[in-house]
Amino acid sequence: MELHFFGTNGIRGIPNDDLSAEFSMDVGKAMATFFSAKKIAMAKDTRITGDMILNAVSSAVMSAGTDVVYLGILPTPALQYYCKKNHVPGIMITASHNPPQYNGIKAIDMDGTEIDEEKEYEIEKLIMNKKFKNVSWENAGRFYYDDTAVDLYINGIISLINFKKISERKLNVAIDTGNGASYYTSPLLLSRLNCHIVTLNSNPDGKFTGRNSEPKPENLQDLINIMKTGKFDIGIAHDGDADRCVFIDENGNFIDGNESLALIAKYTLRAGETLVTPTSSSDALKDVCQQKNAKIIVTRVGAPIVARTMIENNAVIGGEENGGVIYGKHQFCRDGAMTMSLMLNLLACENKKISELLREIPKYYMVKKSVPRKYDWDVIKNKLLDALGNKKTDLLDGIKIYEDSGWVLIRPSGTEKILRIFTESKNEKTAMDLNEKYINIINKL
């Protein structure tokens, strides 16, 4: 199956360019036709084009005879939790970590998971053939508001952690919500957990003027500087729709998503249980699973793929190297607030500093860079394979090359027209050198 509109996480584009109001309506009609449900829950992040895309999609949904239950500005996982608990499909208007000029449309299944590729393919066929359900005026859907989603979501998270111990610890927390969808929910959750909090960029701003919405070290310097004062136990940052969460330790050091996932896995997994993670993740996860006598399953990149594999294998935890953790006991999707709460639970129960806990995780160094993708991936892939000769490779997702000193993963982004280059080694300089080496090879090709 070849998908034309859906990327790694939904449909994304620039409104009034490749994500027009007309196309958004077609997507809404197709999703309503596909789900054929009495009602669909909808939410959006803070982007300034959110109203435009939301209104186009919701009008289209109602034209198919389906009611729209609007939940307001919410993190994507909060909408997913609402869908799961109320057994209704959902549509999220978000472009996650992409720059503010982007927006997107993401379909949520009735179990709260992102729809799989087969369902995306069926929706694309409806879009291309314009075979939409269309009802007479008296059967058109209605538009309702529901303000219960925030409490439902936060109470669900609190039920899965040691509320008493976290409350007693009175953790000092600095949080940067990046002007995104978690501007209200994450500070509220931290307050209920009796944390002393300082917030950064905790106002809804669809232009992300506080910082770039992707929570990378270069975008989190204000939070890092606050953490360097030594007055806080942990720093927390989300992306635009808060399905991801990254951390800064008490000394102001950025914690790589691989390390935070490995740390949560170490204290969550039990012998015989399963962790699911994509091929882009660190070998530290394999080491942790080996220590815990747990099983690890490696998948293609993409949170929906990880989540589906977790469901199929009854896995407790899964996640990606970008701060996207999936906790199966809560829901099968990336959830920034749940990830945040699991880390606070760990700090409270172990009564240690986060830097101390991280010393228990096997140390690897990963370098992540990207280059513009000028040609079709198949062309690049074939040329790369020819250039690699007899080197050991894995073609599960992109091309993973095994060197004596580490590994390299080259794959096309599912959300942008770039090639992502991941390299990992137990030696930091080696990881950097490997990345530079393969960027040069790509540029020459």
Catalytic residues: 96
CB 92 within 8 A of CB 43: yes
User: What whole-number distance in Å separates Cα of residue 60 and Cα of residue 66?
Assistant: 9
Smallest CA-to-CA distance from 8 within 397, 435, 371 is with 397
